[in-house]
Chains A and B, each alone.
Chain A
Amino acid sequence: MSHLPICGIVVYLTAAFLTPLLYKAHRRVAEGVFLASTLSNPVLQTLLILELSSNSWKPIVYTLGAAGPYEWTYPIRIVLEVDALSAFMALIVTSISAAVALFSIGYMEEDGLQKYYTLFLLLDAGMLGMVLTGDLFNLYVFLEITSISSYALVAFRKHQWEAVEAGMKYMIMGSLASTIILVSIALLYGEYGTLTMAQLGWQYRHHPTGMARVALAGLLAGFLMKGGIVPVHMWLADAHPAAPSTISALLSGLVIKVGIYSAARIAYSVFWMGTDVRLLGWLVVVVGAASIIVGNLLAGFQRDIKRLLAYSSIGQVGYVVTGLGIALIPGVNPEASRAALDGALFHLLNHAVLKAMLFLSVGAIVHSLGTRDIGYMGGIAKRMPLTSAVVLLGAMGIIGAPPLNGFVSKWMLYEATAIFNPIIGAIAVLGTAFSTVAYGRLFYALLGRESRLVADRSPRDPGLWMSVPMIFLAAASVLFGILPRIPVVGLVRPARAALLSPGSYTSWLKVAGGILSSPNLPPAGQPISVFGSWVPAVFLLVFAISIAFFLLIRNLSASGVRTVGEGVKAFLSGEDERDFEALQLPGTSVVWGFAEAVKSLVNALKREHSGDLTVYLFWLIFLYAVLILLWGGA
């Protein structure tokens, strides 16, 4: 048996405990170990993918400890199960972490690096373990490793009140979610007497019970919280900006994706075939659509640039979750459901690349300016051309501008959602409109008039260590945009096929002699092009609904002309407005008019994000209760 699956985790964990020891001897040695472990891991995962694909994507099962004595009829050992989806996620996790690790060598110079390296590597080990494991309790253990190190990293700069408050809220919410997950795991064990996910899936398929459905509700509520989905997303907008920028890149790029992955793995591979999951799929679609609206809308009303990116993460993860939810619903046009999954998984990859790139480059700007207020970043593009170019490229990618990777995955999702349900399709389009407003402000700010702060500080592009990862991520983003077939055919489609065939996930089990047959295997599905089908009537409907939204917003927007005030400061590079008294904005102006139109909605949403931890906890329990009542009870 090849030991490849466990290698990555072992490398991370060994390095995590070596670095503090070596740091005592010499700093450069510790850095070397840190870099060697993070940079070698993508290679290991690539080898794993090659091994998988050479074996026609049959899942690799790796047993920790002896495989005997009962063969597979009594699975009590911990197993790692790597299928195409796990390998796809593992490659994303390790590659993005490698880029971020390279960046942090230059970036984290002043902070206490000793703890940083260990926590960083533990976080990586946790995430890698979560995507590779085939055992539910092992998933919980790796989840806790991930969570504890991310709480510590959010509160890393503990001399700042912001980091401490955000870390506290993140920690309490995350721990409650973990407890809910633990209780659900206990219920599943009590029900089926096993924790191997493949075995659980097989058991559930043959003896579905109400208790198992309640357990699924808890697992989903917990993992959706870890993924930052509305209505349990409030911690995200606090925690991601408060962390150092490299950690924000990891949290936004990877940690929430791994939460979504776990939810998808459990929903698809364990529970999908057992019962009718129509209602569950709809619940997931609804929370995903809500995330698209809330995240992207609130992103447009932040002055703190990292908070803007964090809210945008909520919105973009909403797209992923919506796609996953659509494919969960049985009876949807199979073409649409495949396109939805392809789009969701490809968007997951693209968003990881884009958000890591954005947080890293924005981190470089914030580092050199000492402020996160967009209003004071005017004209920085002249001083930091490379960094600003990367920021703007990332912004265009997230909006979904054509030559970039964000466009491809979003287009797949538009098509899938439109065919699935025109209203959801219009919401997907609307989310893009909102995020255009949010990131449009970045264009104004970075390319605008030079602000006094920028003139004083005269920032410069960062050095080689920090430039290389940014350029690497930007190149990946352009490459995936121009040649989407490479990642889609090579990685996304096998991953989608793995999700859609839970039978193959359990196929290695030997039950009472023979190999399990996999019942209810869905039809293998014809290969479809990257761009799905074009159904004119449906798209016309989507356009009609979108235009109705547009007219509504336009109607609500203010009429007349306004003299500039506080609201436009962001577009005037934080200058005093006295010089601009003559400047006037018409009511139809995209930014001001739009802001006026959605003001009541935004204010209501902002009131909900009251900062009160108790309210946030209530939302988590509320989501749990809704999932139990609607899905567990049925």
Chain B
Amino acid sequence: MMVYLTAFALIMLGIAGMLFRRNLLKIIMALSVADSGAYLLLIAIGYRSGGTAPILTGYEGGPMVDPLPQALVLTAIVIGVCVLIMAVSLVVNVYRHYGTLDVSELRRLRG
């Protein structure tokens, strides 16, 4: 239960950070916080209380936690870091052209 609450709190925190922070790097950090919340949610969904890690080597019986969400989270982590690297490289380019990272300055395209 605590884990679910934390996961949702992280997602909300991330979204709120994206909406209320003006610095582009901060927005990207907020995005990665929201992503972490999603990972935590997935892992929590896969957790069975009393279960052991889903590793067959040296397996001694008893319940295991669901391995599928863990595979999903591994994939999602890799995707997340790809997005982060792309975003930071774009931010550096934004800084080169605009001299600032404030989103309210980033408004040449409109209408």
Establish whether A and B are touching in the complex (CB under 8 Å).
yes
Is A175's beta carbon under 8 Å from chain B? yes
Is A171's beta carbon under 8 Å from chain B? yes
Find residues 58-111 in chain B having any chain A CB closer than 8 Å to their own CB: 66, 68-69, 72, 75-76, 79, 82-83, 86-87, 90-91, 93-94, 96-98, 103-104, 106-111
Chain A residues with CB under 8 Å of B97's CB are 161, 164-165
Complex Cα–Cα for A179 and B18 (A): 12
Is A238's beta carbon under 8 Å from chain B? yes
Query: Which among A144-152, A468-476, A542-550 touches the partner chain?
Result: A144-152
With A182-B38, A182-B76, A621-B19 as contacts: A172 and B87 at CB distance below 8 Å: yes
Nearest-CB residue, chain A, relative to B71: A137
CB distance from B99 to the nearest CB of A (A): 11
Do residues A614 and B38 form an inter-chain contact, with CB atoms below 8 A?
A: no
Complex Cα–Cα for A307 and B111 (A): 10
Do residues B79 and A151 form an inter-chain contact, with CB atoms below 8 A?
A: no
- The answer, among A148, A178, A609, for a CB contact under 8 Å with B111, is A609
Interface mask (A376-390 → B, CB under 8 Å = 1, otherwise 0): 000000000000000
Is A617's beta carbon under 8 Å from chain B? yes
Q: Which of A155, A162, A166, A183 has the most CB of B within 10 A?
A: A183
Do residues B103 and A164 form an inter-chain contact, with CB atoms below 8 A?
A: no
Nearest-CB residue, chain B, relative to A137: B72
Do residues B90 and A614 form an inter-chain contact, with CB atoms below 8 A?
A: no
Do residues B109 and A611 form an inter-chain contact, with CB atoms below 8 A?
A: yes
Complex Cα–Cα for A178 and B41 (A): 15
Chain A residues with CB under 8 Å of B69's CB are 186, 189
Nearest-CB residue, chain A, relative to B8: A183
Do residues A164 and B19 form an inter-chain contact, with CB atoms below 8 A?
A: no
Is A168's beta carbon under 8 Å from chain B? yes
- The answer, among B18, B66, B76, for a CB contact under 8 Å with A172, is B18
Do residues B90 and A186 form an inter-chain contact, with CB atoms below 8 A?
A: no
Is B15's beta carbon under 8 Å from chain A? yes
Mostly helix, strand, loop or mixed at chain A's interface?
helix
Complex Cα–Cα for A209 and B69 (A): 21
Complex Cα–Cα for A355 and B48 (A): 51
- The answer, among A144, A183, A610, for a CB contact under 8 Å with B11, is A183
Is A612's beta carbon under 8 Å from chain B? yes
Do residues A176 and B104 form an inter-chain contact, with CB atoms below 8 A?
A: no
Interface size on A, residues (CB 8 A): 46
Do residues A613 and B93 form an inter-chain contact, with CB atoms below 8 A?
A: no
- The answer, among B24, B28, B83, for a CB contact under 8 Å with A148, is B83
Do residues A165 and B109 form an inter-chain contact, with CB atoms below 8 A?
A: yes
Is A485's beta carbon under 8 Å from chain B? no
With A168-B90, A179-B34 as contacts: A161 and B72 at CB distance below 8 Å: no
Complex Cα–Cα for A610 and B103 (A): 12
Do residues B38 and A613 form an inter-chain contact, with CB atoms below 8 A?
A: no
Interface mask (B35-69 → A, CB under 8 Å = 1, otherwise 0): 10110011001000000000000000000001011
Do residues A614 and B86 form an inter-chain contact, with CB atoms below 8 A?
A: no
In this complex, the interface size class of chain B, counting residues with CB under 8 Å from chain A, is 35 or more
- The answer, among B11, B37, B108, for a CB contact under 8 Å with A611, is B108
Complex Cα–Cα for A193 and B87 (A): 33
Do residues A175 and B31 form an inter-chain contact, with CB atoms below 8 A?
A: yes
Do residues B108 and A165 form an inter-chain contact, with CB atoms below 8 A?
A: yes
With A141-B79, A144-B79, A183-B11 as contacts: A175 and B87 at CB distance below 8 Å: yes
Do residues B38 and A183 form an inter-chain contact, with CB atoms below 8 A?
A: yes
Complex Cα–Cα for A335 and B11 (A): 44
Chain B residues with CB under 8 Å of A162's CB are 108-109
Is A27's beta carbon under 8 Å from chain B? no
CB distance from A154 to the nearest CB of B (A): 10
Complex Cα–Cα for A617 and B16 (A): 10
Chain B residues with CB under 8 Å of A168's CB are 24, 87, 90-91, 94, 106
Nearest-CB residue, chain A, relative to B14: A179
Find residues 167-197 in chain A having any chain B CB closer than 8 Å to their own CB: 167-169, 171-172, 175-176, 178-179, 182-183, 186-187, 189-190, 193, 195
Do residues A621 and B109 form an inter-chain contact, with CB atoms below 8 A?
A: no
Q: Which of A179, A187, A302, A618 has the most CB of B within 10 A?
A: A179
Q: Which of A137, A301, A609 has the most CB of B within 10 A?
A: A137
Do residues A238 and B75 form an inter-chain contact, with CB atoms below 8 A?
A: no
Complex Cα–Cα for A612 and B109 (A): 9
Nearest-CB residue, chain B, relative to A184: B38
Chain A residues with CB under 8 Å of B72's CB are 137, 189
With A165-B94, A611-B110 as contacts: A176 and B15 at CB distance below 8 Å: yes
| Closest 4 A/B residue pairs (Cβ) | A611-B107, A611-B110, A190-B45, A161-B97
- Residues in chain B within 8 A of chain A (CB atoms): 11, 14-15, 18-20, 22, 24, 27-28, 31, 34-35, 37-38, 41-42, 45, 66, 68-69, 72, 75-76, 79, 82-83, 86-87, 90-91, 93-94, 96-98, 103-104, 106-111
Instruction: List 17 A-B pairs, Cβ < 8 Å.
Output: A141-B79, A144-B79, A162-B108, A162-B109, A165-B97, A175-B31, A176-B18, A178-B83, A183-B11, A186-B45, A190-B41, A195-B68, A242-B109, A611-B109, A614-B104, A617-B18, A618-B19
